[in-house]
Amino acid sequence: MGSSSKKYKEKECRKRRHRSPSYSEEHEPPKEKRHRHKKHHRDRKREKPKHDYESDGSDVVEIIPDDEPSGSGQNSESLSIDETNKLRAKLGLKPLEVHTSEKSDKKRDDGKKKDDWGEFYHKPAENWADKAEREKLRAKLATAKEKRQMELKMNRVKTLGDSDSDDNVENWVDKNRKIDLAKKEAEKRAKMLEELDEQFGVSEFVENEKREKRRQQYTEKNLKGLRVEHDIDSFAEERDVVLTLKDKAVLDEDDEDVLVNVNMIDDEKYRKNLENRKKRIVYNAYDDQEYDKYGNPIDKSLLSQYDETIDGEKRESFKIGHDNIAERRQAAVQSIKEKLAKKTLESIETKDLKLASEYYNDEELAKFKKPKKKVRKIRAKGKLTADELEQQINNKGIEEVGSRRPKIKPDFEDLNIDDVPDIEIPTDVKLEDDKDDILEKALHKARKIKQKENLVAQILKETPVKTEPEEGLDNGNIVLNATAEFCRTLGDIPTYGKSGNREESEDLLDYEKELKNEMEVDQSDEEEKTGWNSVDPNEPHEVAQIAPQEVQILDEEPDVSTGLGAALKLAMSKGYLDKEQMKRPSNSRLAHLQAKHYSIEDKTYGDEGERGGNRRERYTGPIMEFKEKDTFKPNVKLEYIDDDGHVLNSKEAFRYLSHKFHGKGPGKNKIEKRLKKSIQEQLMKKMSSTDTPLGTLNMLQAKQKETQSPFIVLSGNKQSQSTVISKTRR
Amino acid sequence: MIEITCNDRLGKKVRVKCNPDDTVGDLKKLIAAQTGTRWDKIVLKKWYTTFKDHIQLQDYEIHDGMNIELYYQ
């Protein structure tokens, strides 16, 4: 404190010295100073007092408290330690710890640094060099300690060189003898004790106890029936395995104890992990059979990979005592047997080497030979007659008759019925070998015809009238029958089947054509007798067949002769009769039944006078009860008429209204289409029922009248026509 | 022992010697003894923290040579 005050004084002095005379009171000098200053003003001449001030000022200054942090010139009192202690004693406090403070002072000097504000001590930073040195020292000490300990240990053990006590034989013998003696003595003592025990009956007691203990011991017998949750093969023979009771949940209800070995469980887990790590692909695209490690096929259930997660793991287990060795052995044998059964034995011997020949020998050839087809007799003969054919077919039966579908057959037959007399099966037909199918078809046809022929013959025999068609047959002349001709024309409709709805018949036609081509050579002389003819322009007598064929343009006309209904229908379709869709007596038609003197006024409540009279009633409403008019049945006929005056049906009416409503008419195309349709409809109604719209029939008739012939030639040039005409005239 | 300066900026400034493990109440009593005011009328502050009587100086981290504001209530 003293030092600090001295410092302060010096500072003050310096300040004084530097101060200019104009230095004002801003600095807040102490009271005494101020006072002195005035004095100074008072007697300027006196220079001494300044010095005085300096000298006795020092006393004053000493009284003035040394530190003035706030710069205010206030007193601060401070008691000495003793005084403080006294005071503290009075207040009941412990005395000041002067010593500790000194210590702390010392500490402050010892490298501990205060921070900038002088309030806090900082922990000095660690000296890394010191630390390293300390570490080194510690390590050194540790090694030294270890060395010492090692040495101590080594000292305890006798080295070979050091041992001197056993070197001596006598010593060694003595030692051994001593040991022997000790042993003998111990034995003797044990005997003596035993004798003593026997005397007192202790030994028996002990023996009994031992027996009892043995009885109570937990032995193999107790283990019988316990289940071990491991594969029996996993236990190596002649080795002890410690089994423990498996952990069970406390709340588990089955009481069975299960023995396991921890190591084996670990092994199993490991194996399973390995298996999992292999990442077997479960999906078996081709459903291949899988085999176990013994090569036996595994039966797999559906989605067997999830069996374990659903049903829980299957664990191999066996029971102690229940020896099922025999069973297992049998199973093993069985598996081996199965395996062997599946194996194909292969010999090591190889075949003898042979010189390869370029040709097959007989055996090999036999292998390659095709199964021979049944050789028909026809072929052998080369020629065949109808009788033979028939016989053959009858023998063969129906199933071999042909590939043609039965559906078509009747058609086929019908077509040929009338041709029956024309056809005679040629007896001298030569058939190619490779046309077996075609031949068969022909045979079938022939057979059919023959049968028909027989049938017809029978019928003819039965009937008394004899037309003798067979005679004509025999002669080979053509007999034209009216009905036959008609039927032929029917059958020969050229458009028949052209529309695509009769494929089968189309097929048939194709087939027939082919057949014809095949047989044309042989049958050329009989060609006109068949139902299916190729048109030969060179032959004039064919013309008649083609002419009267008509293409159907109109719908089928209802037959008027069947009844009135049909006639009406015809009339309706022709437009002679207007179809009235909703035939109801209209109001206009029933007008004569309506009241003559009827006006709307009648509907009102009455005349004005009346109305005025019961004006109140008007507001109360009608007094009379409202009665439904039972007899009132109005005739309502809704009819829509378009701008042209056509009556519209409901659909058209809707369209018309809709167009009106939306203010947007139909498009140009639509309008045209509708117009066309209506025109066509009208034309249809006007059309004559007996002629085509172009009047062809009329023209035809006119022409026929002109030419005076029942036919007309459509094709050909003028010349030919003239010739025909001339012919007819002749 | 530490020495603390208490100043009320009204003309009283006291230096008090005390132990760091003295409570603020004890300090107040010492101050009271030196200044002549009743100790329970003294309020000691540092900035805006008012020191409570039952807490030791070292817990307020009041060290040697610190200035404490002295107020009266």
Q: Pick B66's closest partner by Cβ from A76, A98, A119.
A: A119
Minimal CA separation from A116 to chain B, in Å? 14
With beta carbons under 8 A apart, name residues in chain B contacting A79.
16-17, 34
The pLDDT, as a whole number, for residue A77 is 60
B30 reaches A (C-beta below 8 A): yes
Minimal CA separation from B50 to chain A, in Å? 19
In this complex, do A96 and B1 lie within 8 Å of one another by their Cβ atoms? yes
With beta carbons under 8 A apart, name residues in chain A contacting B15.
65, 76-78
Minimal CA separation from B72 to chain A, in Å? 17
Q: From CA A169, how far away is CA A351, in angstroms rounded?
A: 87
> How is residue B24 annotated by DSSP?
H
A688 reaches B (C-beta below 8 A): no
A74 reaches B (C-beta below 8 A): yes
B6-65 pLDDT, tens per residue? 998 998 899 998 888 899 999 999 999 888 899 999 999 999 999 999 999 989 999 888
Contact (CB, 8 A) for A339 and A296: yes
Q: From CA A533, how far away is CA A542, in angstroms rounded?
A: 9
Question: What token pair was written down for A706?
Answer: 């002109």
What chain A residue is nearest to B64 in terms of C-alpha separation? A119
Show the 3-state SS of A629-678.
Answer: CCCCCCCCCCCEECCCCCEECHHHHHHHHHHHHHCCCCCHHHHHHHHHHH
ipTM above 0.95, yes or no: no
* CA diameter of chain A: 202
In this complex, do B14 and A97 lie within 8 Å of one another by their Cβ atoms? no
With beta carbons under 8 A apart, name residues in chain B contacting A96.
1, 17-19
Show the 3-state SS of A200-247.
Answer: HCHHHHHHHHHHHHHHHCCCHHHHCCCEECCCHHHCCCCCCCCCEECC
Positions of chain A with pLDDT lower than 50, given as ranges: 1-13, 15-74, 101-108, 380-381, 398-403, 405-427, 429, 431-432, 465-474, 495-508, 521-531, 539-548, 602, 607-610, 612, 721-730
pTM over 0.90: no
| Size of chain A in residues | 730
What chain A residue is nearest to B22 in terms of C-alpha separation? A93
With beta carbons under 8 A apart, name residues in chain B contacting A74.
7, 9, 11-13
With beta carbons under 8 A apart, name residues in chain A contacting B40.
none
Q: How many CA atoms lie within 13 A of B5 on its CB side?
A: 15
In this complex, do A96 and B29 lie within 8 Å of one another by their Cβ atoms? no
With beta carbons under 8 A apart, name residues in chain B contacting A98.
1
Show the 3-state SS of A492-529.
Answer: CCCCCCCCCCCHHHHHHHHHHHHHHHHHHHHHHHHHHH
The pLDDT, as a whole number, for residue A186 is 96
For each of the domains in chain B, give its residue range(s) and CATH number, in order of start: 1-70 (3.10.20.90)
Neighbours of A5 (CB within 10 A): 16
With beta carbons under 8 A apart, name residues in chain B contacting A75.
11-13
In this complex, do A77 and B34 lie within 8 Å of one another by their Cβ atoms? yes
Minimal CA separation from A54 to chain B, in Å? 26
Interface A-B: count of C-beta contacts within 8 A? 73
B26 reaches A (C-beta below 8 A): yes
Torsion sign, CA atoms B59, B64, B66, B70: positive
B3 reaches A (C-beta below 8 A): yes
In this complex, do B30 and A94 lie within 8 Å of one another by their Cβ atoms? no
